[in-house]
């Protein structure tokens, strides 16, 4: 096993830790968070009480089986509960099931994305009264959970999951009461609508006529969402108002153009004429509503938008601790990141000199991105890489592949072409539309030759290889394959981005360490450039939200760190104003490498050797935040997950 990571800097003493759109099972390398499905959806004819009884019974069986193996094994049990299950475990299982039921009802657009279809006809109630009731409900859930914990006796998976669930509840409450996107971000409302409709149109989990009826129901609820926006919004940052204006116009265009185009390929013409007419009328009215909202944003909100996007130190550290289970303070995080940037820059210089010692690293990088497939070869190149990566994973024993399945490699659909590449997966509990799509955004016909050439530089051959590793093999697609093995629903729902994106980003470096590219410095440089991009995000998150640096200065430094041109660097930093914890890519990668190193030393102290395949299999099957996974790999260990 090769490990060519940069040398560790001397250890320093450290002080004493919503995405804007409702979640979907989409991994977007450039822009989005990740959400996993809730739990196996019941048939539509089942009553909620029957569902709760059945689900609690199944979960109780899992707790019984898992308690005997201390949460370490991958298999879920189908055995009946036994007398060894404590009363506390049983109480926790019932509470967790009831909370997940409530959560799905409170987040219907996310529930759709996650494969739970009982709420497909609804949008969330975001009126001020409903938001207050939601906060009160969350406090009630926390009280119940604290009572279960206080009684003691939790064991096995329940003893670990209770901490995941508590953090999730507290993170939701923090979002409502302190971060307050419903008050500060008009894109919060646009995202509810666009995600709610796209979630019903992009996957054929039900006949098109049935999904059209659900869309009509959601369209009828759009005025309520937009009325709530106009009532709730105040202190909006100007940049966020500008983004929301663009998104509102884009949603109107989606309703008029992209949505009918998507449905046309799904049997729309076979739907009865009366239903098509009703749907078209509802779609046109929804587009008109979005256009009217865009006018309100432009004429009323934008001229008065003078709010501050910054979270501030306290809220930033709280948010990171609750969402990502990372409890280091901002100053410690800054020190860790600065050391990592120095190490990676030195590594870049060494690899660049191997290619051409007469040029600067920046010049070498600029030459590398010119080597890319032609536009007409792009999808085929990614498809060929995917097959080769699957072979490499097997031959090098990187991990166990649970299936021979591969995602469908395709051009990104016309209605979703904002990012460069993405992995669109079903949740592990989606029973119908179970295909996965590796989307590659090709050039647009109307672009100039220069624009096309610039776009294709992102898919330079080393870069495309890293993208395919990250999105598919063994990155996000393999995570999908392992999803069914994660032992509890709570972990599947509340998987942190630092594990999901951290695993995919870790995979980029690990695969080159294990021989991908056969030592070609161009392949290593492609991986290092992408690592520095993630550390530039880490820098930007802290600079923007904790240290109060201006956007323009942060963008300049971002470009220096990541070898970016000024315009894409600015766009990346603007994203950071909306996604303050987008340091989770590099944080997660570093946590996994540290866990691996610590576990290797633990094994060696007992005369054993770390087997990389076993480590990877176990990490993916556990499905825990890395800080909690450490307790499974290293019982009794108190070392930090990141330093």
Indicate the Cα dihedral angle 190, 168, 144, 89, nearest 10°: 130
Kindly tell me if the per-residue pLDDT of 53 is higher than 90. Answer: no
**Does 481 share its domain with 627?**
yes
Q: In angstroms, rounded to a whole number, what is the distance separating the alpha carbons of residues 348 and 535?
A: 14
For 313, counting Cβ atoms within 10 Å of its Cβ (0-12 exposed, 13-18 middle, 19+ buried), the class is middle
Of the pLDDT bands very low, low, confident and very high (cuts 50, 70, 90), residue 87 is confident
User: What pLDDT shows up at residue 602?
Assistant: 97
User: Six-digit token pair at 631?
Assistant: 């307790």
Give me the domain span that covers residue 213: 186-236+238-306
Residue 291 lies in a domain: yes
Mean per-residue pLDDT, 504-509 = 98
Task: State whether 257 and 334 are in the same domain.
Answer: no
Please tell me whether the peptide bond between 474 and the residue prior to it is cis, using omega within 30 degrees of 0: yes
Per-residue pLDDT at 417: 67
The model's confidence at residue 253, banded by pLDDT at 50, 70 and 90, is: very high
- The C-alpha torsion from 364 through 367 and 372 to 374, rounded to 10°, is 180
pLDDT of residue 16: 30
Q: Of 71-80, 109-118, 562-571, which gets the smallest average pLDDT?
A: 71-80
The b-or-e profile of 593-630 (16+ CB within 10 A means b, else e) is bbbbebbbeeeeeeeeebebeebbbbbbbbbbbbbbbb
How far, in Å, CA of 65 to CA of 167, rounded?
A: 25
Partnered with residue 28 across adjacent β-strands are 422
Coil, helix or strand at residue 421: strand
Whether 49 is covered by a domain: the verdict is no
> What pLDDT does 434 receive?
86
Q: Report the 10 Å Cβ neighbour count for 414.
A: 12
Strand pairing partners for 26?
Answer: 424
Q: How many CA atoms lie within 13 A of 554 on its CB side?
A: 25
Domain ends where: 269, 285, 306? 306
Same domain? 530 vs 395: yes
Q: What percent of the chain has pLDDT over 90?
A: 74
Give SS3 for 469: helix
454 versus 212: which is more confidently predicted?
A: 212
Shortest CA distance to 533 belongs to which of 12, 30, 189, 26? 30
Q: How confident is residue 414, by pLDDT bands cut at 50, 70 and 90?
A: low
Question: Pairing mode, if any, of strands 421-424 and 26-28?
Answer: antiparallel
Residues 167 and 251 in one domain: no
Same structural domain, 151 and 228: no
* Residue 201 contacts residue 268 (beta carbons within 8 Å): no
Same domain for 344 and 294: no
Structure tokens at 39: 């739990």
In a domain, 78, yes or no: no
Return the pLDDT at 26: 44
59 near 617, Cβ under 8 Å? no
Q: How far is it, in rounded angstroms, from Cα 71 to Cα 602?
A: 19
Is 476 inside a domain boundary? Answer: yes
When pLDDT is cut at 50, 70 and 90, the band that residue 54 belongs to is very low
Q: How far is CA 204 from CA 197, 269, 286, in A?
A: 13, 15, 22
* Pairing mode, strands 408-411 and 437-440: parallel
Q: Is residue 95 located within the same domain as residue 7?
A: yes
Q: Which pLDDT score, from 0 to 100, does residue 176 have?
A: 98
pLDDT (mean) for 590-613: 98
Angle at 129 between CA 125 and CA 131, to 5 degrees: 60
Lowest mean per-residue pLDDT among 414-428, 514-528, 589-603: 414-428
User: What does the pLDDT read at residue 52?
Assistant: 39
Q: What is the mean pLDDT of residues 361-374?
A: 91
Last residue of a domain, one of 306, 333, 350: 306
**Pair 370, 244 in one domain:** no
Indicate the pLDDT class of residue 430, thresholds 50, 70 and 90: confident
Looking at the structure, tell me whether residues 190 and 176 fall in a common domain: no
Q: How many domains does the chain have?
A: 2
Strand order in the sheet with 26-28: 26-28, 421-424, 437-440, 408-411
Bridge partners of 410, per DSSP, are 439
Sign, Cα dihedral of 173, 120, 116, 578: negative
Tokens representing 51? 């569902």
Residue 56 has pLDDT above 50, yes or no: no
Q: Of 282, 306, 330, which residue constitutes the final position of a domain?
A: 306
Is the pLDDT at 78 greater than 50? The verdict is: no
pLDDT of 420 reads 84
Question: In the predicted model, is pLDDT for residue 50 greater than 80?
Answer: no
* Length of the chain in terms of residues written: 643
| 639 and 535 co-located in one domain | yes
Q: Quick check: 582 and 316 in contact, CB under 8 A? A: no
396 and 295 fall within a common domain: no
Residue 23's pLDDT band, with cuts at 50, 70 and 90, is very low
Contact 525, 351 (CB under 8 A): yes
Predicted local confidence at residue 51, as pLDDT: 37
**What is the arithmetic mean of pLDDT over 250-274?**
95
Q: How confident is the model at residue 21 (pLDDT cuts 50, 70, 90)?
A: very low
Please give the Cα distance from 405 to 400 (Å, whole number).
Answer: 13
Q: Is residue 287 in some structural domain?
A: yes
**Rounded alpha-carbon distances, angstroms, from residue 561 to 185, 187, 368, 370, 535:** 29, 29, 17, 20, 8
Q: Is residue 58 part of a domain?
A: no
Structure tokens at 406: 């591969």
Q: Token digits for 403?
A: 């299936």
319 and 300 co-located in one domain: no
77, part of any domain? no
Task: Identify the H or E element spanning 422.
Answer: strand 421-424
Cβ(367)–Cβ(561) below 8 Å: no
Q: How many C-beta atoms lie closer than 10 Å to residue 37's C-beta?
A: 24
Q: Which of 178-182, 226-230, 332-336, 490-494 has the lowest mean pLDDT?
A: 490-494
Given a cut of 90, whether residue 172 has pLDDT beyond it is yes
Contact 112, 119 (CB under 8 A): yes
Average pLDDT along the chain:
87
- Cβ neighbors of 556 (< 8 A, separation 6 or more) are 566, 569
* 350 belongs to a structural domain: yes
573 versus 4: the higher-pLDDT residue is 573
Alpha-carbon span 31 to 21, nearest angstrom: 11
- Distance in angstroms (rounded) separating the CA atoms of residues 61 and 79: 6
- 229-233, 299-303, 491-495, 604-608, range with the lowest pLDDT: 491-495
Distance CA 326, CA 17 (A): 5
User: Among 184-193, 224-233, 484-493, which stretch is predicted with the lowest mean pLDDT?
Assistant: 484-493
Could you tell me which of 80, 30, 43, 37 has the C-alpha nearest to residue 60?
Answer: 80
Contact between 586 and 248 under an 8 Å Cβ cutoff? The reply is no
Mean pLDDT of 170-197: 97
pLDDT score at 6: 42
Instruction: Please tell me the least confidently modeled range out of 74-78, 255-259, 491-495, 559-563.
Output: 74-78
Q: For residues 35 and 427, what is the distance between their CA atoms, to the nearest angstrom?
A: 9
């Amino acid at each position: 096993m090769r490990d060519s990571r940069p040398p560790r800097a001397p250890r320093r003493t450290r002080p004493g830790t919503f995405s804007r759109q409702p979640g979907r099972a989409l991994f977007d390398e450039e822009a989005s968070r990740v959400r996993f499905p809730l739990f196996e959806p019941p048939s539509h004819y089942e009553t909620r009480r029957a569902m709760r009884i059945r689900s609690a019974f199944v979960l109780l069986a899992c707790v019984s089986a898992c308690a005997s193996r201390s949460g370490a094994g991958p298999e879920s049990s189908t055995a009946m509960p036994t007398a060894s299950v404590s009363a506390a475990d049983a109480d926790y299982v019932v509470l967790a099931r009831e909370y997940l039921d409530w959560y799905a009802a409170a987040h219907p657009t996310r529930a759709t994305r996650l494969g739970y279809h009982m709420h497909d006809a609804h949008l969330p109630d975001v009126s001020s009264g409903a938001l207050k009731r939601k906060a009160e409900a969350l406090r009630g859930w926390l009280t119940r959970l604290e009572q279960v914990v206080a009684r003691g006796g939790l064991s096995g998976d329940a003893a670990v999951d209770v901490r995941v669930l508590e953090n999730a509840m507290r993170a939701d409450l923090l979002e409502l009461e302190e971060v307050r996107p419903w008050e500060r971000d008009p894109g919060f409302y646009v995202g509810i609508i666009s995600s709610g409709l796209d979630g019903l149109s992009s996957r054929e989990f039900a006949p098109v006529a049935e999904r059209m009826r659900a869309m009509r129901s959601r369209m009828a609820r759009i005025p309520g969402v937009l009325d709530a926006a106009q009532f709730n919004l105040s202190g909006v940052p100007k940049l966020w108002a500008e983004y929301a204006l663009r998104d509102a116009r884009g949603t109107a265009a989606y309703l008029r153009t992209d949505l009918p185009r998507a449905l046309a390929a799904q049997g729309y013409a076979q739907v009865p004429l009366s239903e098509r007419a009703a749907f078209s009328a509802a779609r046109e009215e929804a587009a008109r509503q979005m256009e009217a909202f865009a006018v309100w944003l432009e004429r009323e909100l934008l001229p008065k938008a003078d709010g501050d996007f910054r979270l501030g130190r306290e809220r930033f550290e709280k948010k990171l601790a609750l969402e990502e289970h990372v409890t280091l303070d901002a100053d410690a995080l800054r020190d860790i990141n600065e050391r990592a940037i120095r190490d990676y820059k030195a590594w870049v210089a060494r690899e660049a000199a191997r290619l051409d010692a007469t040029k600067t690293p920046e010049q070498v990088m600029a030459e590398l991105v010119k080597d890319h497939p032609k536009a007409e070869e792009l999808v085929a190149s990614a498809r060929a890489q995917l097959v080769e990566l699957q072979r490499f994973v097997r031959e090098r024993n990187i991990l166990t592949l649970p299936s021979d399945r591969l995602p469908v490699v395709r051009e990104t659909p016309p209605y979703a072409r904002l990012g460069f590449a993405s992995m669109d997966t079903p949740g592990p509990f989606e029973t119908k539309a179970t295909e996965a799509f590796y989307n590659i955004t090709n050039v647009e016909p109307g672009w100039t030759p220069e624009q096309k050439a610039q776009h294709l530089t992102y898919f330079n051959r080393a870069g495309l290889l890293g993208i395919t590793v990250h999105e598919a093999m063994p990155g996000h697609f393999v995570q999908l394959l392992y999803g069914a093995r994660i032992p509890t629903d709570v972990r599947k729902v509340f998987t942190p981005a630092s594990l999901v994106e951290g695993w995919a980003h870790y995979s980029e470096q690990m695969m080159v360490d294990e021989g991908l590219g056969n030592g070609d410095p161009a392949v290593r440089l492609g991986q290092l450039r992408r690592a520095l991009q993630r550390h530039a995000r880490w820098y930007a998150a802290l600079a923007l939200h904790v240290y109060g640096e201006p956007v323009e200065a942060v963008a300049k430094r971002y470009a220096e760190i990541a070898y970016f041109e000024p315009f894409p660097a600015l766009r990346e930093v603007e994203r950071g104003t909306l996604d303050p914890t987008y340091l989770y890519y590099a944080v997660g990668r570093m946590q996994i490498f540290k866990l691996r190193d610590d576990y290797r030393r633990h094994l060696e102290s007992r005369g054993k050797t770390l087997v990389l395949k076993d480590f990877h299999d176990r990490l993916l099957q556990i499905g825990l935040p890395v800080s909690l996974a450490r307790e499974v790999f290293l019982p009794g260990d108190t070392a930090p997950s990141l330093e």
